[in-house]
Each structure stands twice: as structure tokens, then as C-alpha cells.
Chain A
């Protein structure tokens, strides 16, 4: 649910990076944080365990400039990917405006991607969203590693909606901003329509 403040002329949107454990959601945000102009981003918060696994969420606020006199602010969140943190994932999806599904391209993680996508759809439904209509972008991460699945195989597993998809290697930054730009565009187009009723 986007929040439009007519008084302070601000549009606030929430984007959530979703995907299986260790797929690179936090790495996406870390790269965005490193490369964004410091004036355009706030502090990055990571609620993580001592071994740097996401415990609750990462949070990175971005200000991308103005549209028609409205400042645009995007709040990027990641969810904890590990299966047993499902309650936390549901909480973080509240009020979401757009989702980046980050898939791990490694052959050994193919099943985990499929399971996580199904989990996303279930959790969106539980929050009252239509998982077939919410702005969604898919990122096939870790394309720089050996032993990866083909794009066609990954597409068949997690992109049944045929939404925009991007190859990425978040550790080097490849594909990170292309993915972000695509989801922001979808969210703003949805905002123009007045959101999902």
C-alpha cells in the first residue's frame, strides 16, 4: 500500500526482496547502498545473526528524486530466507508495493527456489494480496558461478507469470540496478492506476 502525503508532497513505496536462504538478497541491498549517491540513500539497517544471516530484515531507504512535485521514496526490505523464519517473512510483506524474487541459479538450489516462490504466493494471499497481480520482478542471481541451471529451466520453475526477469551476479553488481529499476517502474505504474483494490 503506497503512502502518498499531500502535505509533505511525498510518495512512499515498499519493495521487498524475497527468495531462498543465501540467494543474495542482502548482497543486492549492500551493492545498492555502496553505489548510490549518499544523498539519495539513508542508513542501511541489517538485523542479522552473528554469522551475518538475516534474522528479521535488512532495510535501505532510497530517495530517487521528484515526479510532478512529489518526492519519491522507496523503502527496500529483505526477508530472512531460511525456511523456519516464515512468520517474519509474513510480517515484512505487510504493506508491500512490489517484490523482487531473487532466485539462486545454482543447480543445487533449484528446489529451494521453487519452494520459496510457492511460499511467497501463499504468504501474499495470507496478507490479502493477489499474487498474480502484485508488481513482481525476478532476478536469476549467481550467474557467475559454475554448475548453474539454464535460464529456461529457472524460468519454467519460478516465472509462470512471465514477469520481467534479469540475470545477475549481485556480488559484482551485475544486474542489480537493472532489477531495481524494473521493480520501481512497475510499482509506479501500479501507483498511477491507484493501487490494487
Chain B
């Protein structure tokens, strides 16, 4: 596993957004988030106002990591889908391409069956875009070339 930087370029980002927008409509969801397994938000669509998206991304990653640990204990590689049912809103989390987490928040206007079906369809498309994004990122590991010591120091002034 490489520990170089993961660089997400504009074309792949736009493709992610396009897939998420379609999923939002097809699944009758309220919000859809794409998070990396390290807890960083990659993209979101829908009415994210009122959501602390940074915390959501971090906790979703923690949730998947913890259940992944549980899976390992019983000899499973991963539990690839998690579903949390609330009084008003529900949350569906699934692993995409081993390094992304797709989070969908939905209410009574949708159902877990519909969400699951639409997620399955979107997952293959997201995985294909992720494969392109990873290849592009690995080909461009120069880091942020222009960064100087003075730039770094300027953050602390």
C-alpha cells in the first residue's frame, strides 16, 4: 500500500458529483456523501445544510473501521454494508472500491430496499471513477511543488 498523497483532480471529482446527484434522485435520498476510509469528505450532494459534514465523515470512517475490525474477528474481510435506523432519518453506509465510503441519509419517502438497489448500481460506477483517480494520483506524486518554507511559516503568523 502506497502512503503517497492522494490527489483528486477536477474531472474525477466532477464525475463523482454526477454519480452522487443521480443516486440522490434515484434513491429519493436527502443527502449523499462520499468519504474516504481515513475520514475525509470527498464530495456531497443534497441538502447538507445543518449537517456537520467534517464530523460525519470522521465518524463514518470510524464506524466502518470498527465494524471492519469486528468482521476480522469472525474471519470476514469486511462488513461492506451498514444500516442505521432512526426515528425520522436513516443512514446507509457502504464500502466502495475498498477505500471509499458511500453514506446515504434518507427518510420515509424512501426505503432501505430502494436505497440498497440504487447503491449497488452506483457503486460500480464510483469504483470505475476511483480506479481512474487512483491511477492519475499515483502518476502525479510530485506533491505540492511550489510549497516553500515561507509558505508553511505563513500559516502560523
Contacts and interface: CB of A to CB of B under 8 A. Distances in A.
A35 to B, nearest CB: 14
Interface residues of B, number: 41
Interface in B50-78: 52, 54-55, 58-59, 62, 65-66, 68-69
Majority secondary structure of chain B interface residues (helix, strand, loop or mixed): mixed
Contacts, number: 133
| Contact residues on A (Cβ < 8 Å of other chain), bracket | 35 or more
Contacts of B1: 128
B143 A68 contact: no
Nearest to A11: B144
A153 to B, nearest CB: 31
Secondary structure at the A interface, as helix, strand, loop or mixed, is mixed
Interface in A138-197: 181, 184-185, 188-189, 191-197
Contact of B7 (A6, A64, A129, A181): A6
A51 B10 CA distance: 46
Interface in B98-139: none
B56 to A, nearest CB: 10
Given A75-B58, A95-B37, A4 B155 contact: no
Given A6-B10, A59-B55, A197-B141, 11 more contacts: A1-B38, A11-B144, A14-B38, A14-B39, A42-B52, A67-B144, A67-B152, A68-B146, A95-B37, A194-B4, A194-B5
